[in-house]
């Protein structure tokens, strides 16, 4: 990574990105995005991995997408292999904002089923945003393996991803409504209901799905 010379505006921006004051970091990210410079790409990516403030992370993402994809996308793809969950989730989030479909193969099954809910949710959103034409059914099948996972916010994210895939996801969601696991069954039913009546809201769909599953009773194994 090439560092700016000391006593320059660029050097001060480098230092400001590491400030203990989130307002200073926010302004620094804004300044970098306003005047894109390839020397800052590595530092922006690195800062995304550790930045604790949501607003600053969003500004870092904006600053990154102000740079040409050829400078940033390969570095973001490298971050997908990071052992740090935030590095993976922020890289996925930023890739989804770029909209460069060439990054889609980097969103692996492992990321779509990542043990960290934030990473998995970011992977679902990015995959739906970047999926190439003709790959929607395969993606829907992978996403359907995550039905029943996590708490309400995570389930809502997955339902939104499946609904966004449209008809490609309909058969796998429908099949999951008869799954042996009641959590999978309930989530699939809620997803179907949300797709049919988005104005009713996901909470209502979940409550309705709970009633259906309760009346249906447990499924037998085998």
Q: What's the predicted TM-score (pTM) here? A: 0.87
List strand residue ranges (DSSP E) for the chain, in order.
none
Give the residue extent of every domain in the chain.
Answer: 1-67, 142-222
Give per-10-residue mean pLDDT for the chain (222 aa): 53 84 95 91 95 97 96 96 98 95 96 98 97 96 96 93 96 93 92 83 73 68 39
In the CATH scheme, what architecture does the domain 1-67 have?
Alpha Horseshoe (1.25)
Residue 108: how many CB atoms within 10 A of its CB? Answer: 14
Cβ 2 vs Cβ 40: under 8 Å: no
DSSP-derived secondary structure for 20-85? S-HHHHHHHHHHHHHS--GGGHHHHHHHHTT---HHHHHHHHHHHHTS-HHHHHHHHHHHTT-SSH
């Amino acid at each position: 990574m090439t560092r700016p010379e000391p006593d320059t505006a660029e050097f001060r921006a480098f230092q400001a990105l590491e400030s203990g004051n989130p307002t200073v970091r926010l302004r620094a990210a804004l300044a970098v995005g306003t005047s894109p410079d390839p020397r800052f790409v590595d530092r922006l990516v690195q800062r995304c991995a550790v930045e604790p403030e949501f607003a600053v992370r969003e500004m870092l993402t904006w600053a990154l997408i102000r740079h040409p994809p050829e400078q940033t996308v390969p570095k973001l793809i490298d971050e997908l292999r990071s052992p740090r969950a935030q590095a993976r989730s922020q890289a996925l989030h930023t890739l989804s904002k770029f909209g460069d479909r060439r990054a889609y193969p980097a969103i692996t099954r492992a990321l779509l089923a990542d043990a960290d809910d934030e990473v998995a949710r970011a992977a679902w959103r990015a995959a739906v945003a970047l999926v190439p034409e003709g790959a929607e059914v395969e993606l829907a099948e992978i996403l359907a393996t995550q039905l029943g996972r996590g708490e309400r916010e995570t389930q809502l994210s997955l339902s939104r991803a499946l609904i966004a895939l449209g008809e490609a996801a309909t058969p796998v969601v429908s099949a999951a409504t008869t799954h042996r696991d009641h959590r999978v069954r309930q989530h699939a039913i809620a997803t179907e209901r949300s797709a049919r009546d988005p104005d009713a809201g996901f909470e209502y769909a979940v409550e309705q799905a709970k009633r259906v599953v309760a009346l249906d009773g447990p499924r037998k194994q085998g």
